[in-house]
Structure 1
Amino acid sequence: MTARRIAVLGTGYVGLTTGACLASLGHRVVCADVDAAKVARLERGEVDMLESGLAELVADGLASGRLGFVVGSPTAVGEAEMVFLCVPTPMASDGGADLAVVESVIREVGHLLSSECVLVTKSTVPVGTSARVAELVRRDDVAVVSNPEFLREGSAVHDFLHPDRIVVGSNDHAAARRVAELYAELEAPTVLTDAASAELVKYAANCLLATKLAYVNALAEVCEHRGADIADVTAGMDSDREVGRSFLRPGPGWGGSCLPKDTHALLRISESVGVDFALLRAVISANARQRERMVTKIADTCGTGDPGSLSGVRLGVLGLTFKAGTDDLRDSPALSVVSLLARHGAELRAYDPALRGDEPRLEGVATLVDDPYQAVKGAAGIVVLTEWPEFRELDWSRLAAMLDGSVVVDTRNHLDPRQPQAAGVSWHGLGRPSPPR
C-alpha cells in the first residue's frame, strides 16, 4: 500500500473517524474544521463525542505524527493528494439534502487543490453531486470521486476498520481505483462503479433498513392484537437467510442523524424525476405514527388509555439518545416520545448514561438526573426508551420500592421481563405478551 497525503474537511462523526482511521492505516492525514476551539481540543487529544475507540485512535495518530488538525479548509488542502469532504448535508426545508456547506467549501478550496488531486465526497449526498462538484471546481486536473460512508454511531471505528464493503464511484476510473487502494489493507469487498450509482447506494441501503424497522414495528402491533410473540416471530424470520436478522427488533421508531434525513432525501430525489415512491412515503409516515403509538401504549398502562389522562402523571424515563453507545440526540425517537408525553401533561424525570448537566433540548420537557433510581422515585411508571446495557442490571427490588406505581413500559423489549415481574412490577413490551407475576 502506498501511503498518501490526505486532507479531511470536517471533524464530525464521519470526518474525525475517517481521518483517525486513515492515519491508523499508515496515511498522513490533516483534518480541518472551522471551529478553532474544537481544533485546539483535538490537538490535545480531547474527543468530545462518545464513540468507542475513537479517542484512542486520535491519540495514536497524534503520537505517530500521522494525524494533525488545522483551522480552516484552505490550510489543509495545499499538499494533499486526496481531499475528503466530510461536511454536514442536513435536511433542507423541502426534504432534500442541503448542499450549501459542500458548495461553500468547494468554492473556498477548489483553486488551491494540487494538480492531480482527487476530491472525494464522503458525506451523504444526492445523485448528481459529483457532477455538481466538478462543475464548481472547473479543473480538468482534479478528479471527483464518490466514496460513501457506512458508519454506525457508537461503532464507527469498528465499522470503518471492518467494513462489509467499500463503495467507490467516479467517471474517472483511475481516480476511483486510487481511492479504493487507500483501504487495501482492510481486504473488504470493493464495488467500483460510476459516481451516480455510488451516491445512490447509501440512500438505497438506509431506506431499506428504515423499511425493515417500520415493518417489524407494525408486525409487533399485530402481535399485540392477536396474542402472538414478536420475539418468536422474528426468530422464525431470522432463520431465513434471504430475510436476515438485522433491523428486525421493534422499538419506538427509527431516528438519528442518517435514516430520517436519508429517507426524506431519497423521496425528494424520486419526486424530482417523476417517480412516485409510495412505499418510502408510507415508511416515513409509519415511523411518525410509531412514536404516537408509544404514547398511547404508555397511557394504556399508566393512565386511562387516553394520552390526555397522563396530565400530572409522573413518569421515570430511562434513555434519551437515539440508540445506546452514543450521546447523539439528533432526531432521537426517545426524545420525540418524551416531548409528546410532556405535551400531554406528563411530569418527566429522565436518566441517560451518556448525558450530563444542562441539555437545552430537554428544557420544559423533562428533568435530567444523574441516577436511574432518582429518575423513577415516586413515579407512576417507568418508560425504557434506549437500549443501554446497564438497564438490564438494575436492582428491581429497589426500583419497585421507590415507585408509586408498579409498571414498566419497555419500548425496546430490552429487559428480561422476569426481573421486574419478580419484584412485583408489571412489564409491558412491544408485540410480546406480559408474563404472569
Structure 2
Amino acid sequence: MKIAVIGVGYVGLVSGVCLAEVGHEITCVDLDQAKIDKLNQNHVPIYERGLEDMVAANRAAGHLHFTTDLAAALKDAEAAFIAVGTPSRESDGHADLSYIYAAAKNIAEQATDPLVIINKSTVPVGTGDEVENIVKTTRPDLQFDIVSNPEFLREGAAIEDFMAPDRIVIGVETDHARKVMAEIYAPFAAQGYPILYVNRRTSELTKYAANSFLALKLAYINEVAELCEVVGADIKGVSKGIGLDPRIGEKFLNAGPGYGGSCFPKDTLALVRTAQDHERPLRLIEMIVSINEYRKRAMSRKIAQMCENEVKGKKIAILGLTFKPNTDDMREAPSIAIIQGLQDMGTTIHAYDPEGMENAKRYLNNITYCDSALACVDSADAAVIVTEWDEFRTLPFAEIKTRMRKPVLVDLRNLYDGQSLKAVGFDYQCVGRPQETVINSMPVSDD
C-alpha cells in the first residue's frame, strides 16, 4: 500500500521505516529541508539502534522516500499518518495541538484521492473529532476517514516495539477505515500480534491511560524507596518481592531519580488537564506529577548530603545525561533538574554521556563535557550515576579512586552494591537503602 507519513520526528520516522520494512511504499514528509536532505543521504537525526541501517536498506529497495512535497507524497496514497509533536503548552500544561491541526489542514488542501487519515501522535480525547471538522471544512468534496492509532514505542527499543508489538490499538468509526487499517497491519496480524479495534475516543484515551499507569508505578516505587531509606529495608528486594506477583508485574519498579523523556511528563499533565476540563479530576495522576517533579530536584540534595552539605566550589562528575539509556533524548531528563539544583548550590559540573551531550547543550549551561567517564571524574569531589548506560555498569573503580579528589559515588540507578565499593574505598550511596545498611545488607537472590 502507498502511505504518506507526515512528520519525521521520533514516532514518524520509526513508524515510516518499519512500515516500509514490511513491504509498504512509504513517503515521509517534513517541512525541514535540512532534515530531509540528511535522510536522503541515510543520515538519521535521532539515535536509535539499527534505524540508520533500516533507512539505507529500504531506500535502496525503493520502499522508503523522503520529501518536503506533501502533494507528491499524497498522490495515489490510500492512507496518511500524522506523526507530529504534541508538546505541553507552557501556559497551562495542555497538549499543544497546533501541529496536528496544521497537518490536517495541509493534508486536506493537498489530497486528490480518497484518504484514510491516521493520527499516530498522542492526543487528548476528542482530537480526532476536531481533525475531522478541519478536513471537512477545508475540503467538503474530499472522501476521507479519521483514525486513531497511537504509538507504544520505547525509546531505545522502538524498532523492536514496532516490529513485535504487544498490542496495536486502532480507533475507527467506519467499516472502510477498519478495512484499510487491517490491510496496513496485515503483516503483523499474520504473525499473531494482537490488534484491538475500538472507537476513536477509546483509542485516544488508551494511550494516555497506559502512560499514566506506568508513571504511577515509577512514582509509587520511588515513594517506597524513600521509606526504605529510613526503616532499614532494601528497595531492590521490595521491588522484586512485589513484582513477582503477576497482578503487579516486575517492570517499571526500579527506583531512581524520577521519570523523564518525551512522553510521561507531558502525557500525565495533559491527562490531568483533560480531566479537569471535564470536571472529573484525576487526583491520583495529579499527585504523580507532583511527586516526580519534587523527586528530580530532591536528588541534588541527596548528592549534597554525601558531600556533607559543603558543595560550594566542589566539582561534581555527572555520568549520564539522557532520561534513559540507548537514546540521545534529553527532554525532561532528571539530569537537568539535578544539575541545575547542584549549580544553584555553587558546584562545578563536569558531565559525560555516550550519546546525549550534544542535545544536552540545548538544556544546560556552564557545564564541561568530557569524552569519557574517566576524564569526567578527574579531580572530582563526587561522582553521580544518573543514567544506567551499560558502560557505567563495569566502571574501573580502583582507577577512578586514584583520579578523584574524594572517593564519593552517588548511584541513582542502583547499579552497584555497597560491599564492592566499600572494598575499593568509596563512600557510596544509592536509592532506597539506608546509608548505614548499604554495606551490610544481603544481596537480592533469584533463588
Cα distance change, pair 34–40 in 1 and its aligned pair in 2 (3 A):
same
Match of 2:321 in 1: 320
- 2: CA distance, partners of 1:363 / 1:291: 15
Shift of 1:40: 1.0
Q: Is the 8 A contact 1:369 1:375 kept in 2?
A: yes
Matches within 5 A, 1:57-68: 57-68=54-65
* Aligned length, in residue pairs: 430
SS in 1 for 2:331: coil
Corresponding residue to 2:291 among 286, 290, 298: 286
* Gap regions ≥5 residues in structure 2: 442-447
- 2: CA distance, partners of 1:384 / 1:202: 31
Match of 1:35 in 2: 32
SS in 1 for 2:362: helix
Cα distance change, pair 392–237 in 1 and its aligned pair in 2 (3 A):
same
Shift of 1:339: 1.4
- The TM-score normalised by the length of structure 2 is 0.93
- Amino acid in the other structure paired with 2:439: P
Match of 2:150 in 1: 148
Match of 2:445 in 1: none
Matches within 5 A, 1:27-426: 27-92=24-89, 93-138=91-136, 139=140, 141-186=143-188, 187-304=192-309, 309-356=310-357, 359-361=360-362, 363-426=364-427
Q: Is the 8 A contact 1:154 1:326 kept in 2?
A: yes
SS in 2 for 1:247: coil
- 1: CA distance, partners of 2:394 / 2:320: 14
Shift of 1:336: 1.7
Shift of 1:358: 8.1
Shift of 1:169: 0.3
- The TM-score normalised by the length of structure 1 is 0.95
- 2: CA distance, partners of 1:291 / 1:365: 20
SS in 2 for 1:56: helix
- 1: CA distance, partners of 2:27 / 2:351: 39
- 1: CA distance, partners of 2:4 / 2:395: 45
Shift of 1:30: 0.3
- Amino acid in the other structure paired with 1:39: I
SS in 2 for 1:144: strand
Q: CA RMSD in A?
A: 1.6
Corresponding residue to 1:20 among 14, 17, 27: 17
Deviation string for 1:50-84 (max 9, x for gaps)?
Answer: 10111111111101001001014333212211000
Q: Is the 8 A contact 1:9 1:31 kept in 2?
A: yes
* Gap regions ≥5 residues in structure 1: none
- 1: CA distance, partners of 2:79 / 2:394: 47
Shift of 1:363: 4.9
- 1: CA distance, partners of 2:338 / 2:367: 11
- 2: CA distance, partners of 1:121 / 1:203: 14
- Amino acid in the other structure paired with 1:315: I
- 1: CA distance, partners of 2:266 / 2:300: 24
- Amino acid in the other structure paired with 2:206: V
Cα distance change, pair 358–159 in 1 and its aligned pair in 2 (3 A):
closer
- 2: CA distance, partners of 1:406 / 1:33: 49
Shift of 1:426: 2.1
- 1: CA distance, partners of 2:219 / 2:235: 14
Shift of 1:436: 5.1
- 2: CA distance, partners of 1:148 / 1:355: 26
- 2: CA distance, partners of 1:34 / 1:270: 33
Deviation string for 1:215-250 (max 9, x for gaps)?
Answer: 000000100000000011111111100000110001
SS in 2 for 1:8: strand
- Amino acid in the other structure paired with 2:180: R
Shift of 1:417: 3.8
- 2: CA distance, partners of 1:364 / 1:108: 38
- 2: CA distance, partners of 1:401 / 1:362: 32
- 2: CA distance, partners of 1:401 / 1:286: 38
Match of 1:435 in 2: 439
Most deviating of 330-339 and 352-361: 352-361
Q: Is the 8 A contact 2:336 2:364 kept in 1?
A: no
- Amino acid in the other structure paired with 2:407: S
- Amino acid in the other structure paired with 1:156: A
Deviation string for 1:386-418 (max 9, x for gaps)?
Answer: 000101121110001111112111111123444
Q: Is the 8 A contact 1:357 1:368 kept in 2?
A: no
- Amino acid in the other structure paired with 1:49: I
Q: Is the 8 A contact 1:392 1:416 kept in 2?
A: no
Shift of 1:277: 1.2
- 2: CA distance, partners of 1:291 / 1:66: 43
Cα distance change, pair 173–94 in 1 and its aligned pair in 2 (3 A):
farther
Q: Is the 8 A contact 1:322 1:330 kept in 2?
A: yes
- Amino acid in the other structure paired with 1:330: R
- Amino acid in the other structure paired with 1:220: A
- 2: CA distance, partners of 1:14 / 1:317: 29
- 2: CA distance, partners of 1:47 / 1:69: 12
Q: Is the 8 A contact 2:8 2:83 kept in 1?
A: yes
Shift of 1:357: 5.6
SS in 2 for 1:269: helix
- 2: CA distance, partners of 1:255 / 1:358: 15
Shift of 1:335: 1.8
- Amino acid in the other structure paired with 1:249: N
- 1: CA distance, partners of 2:359 / 2:72: 35
Most deviating of 426-435 and 218-227: 426-435
Shift of 1:170: 1.6
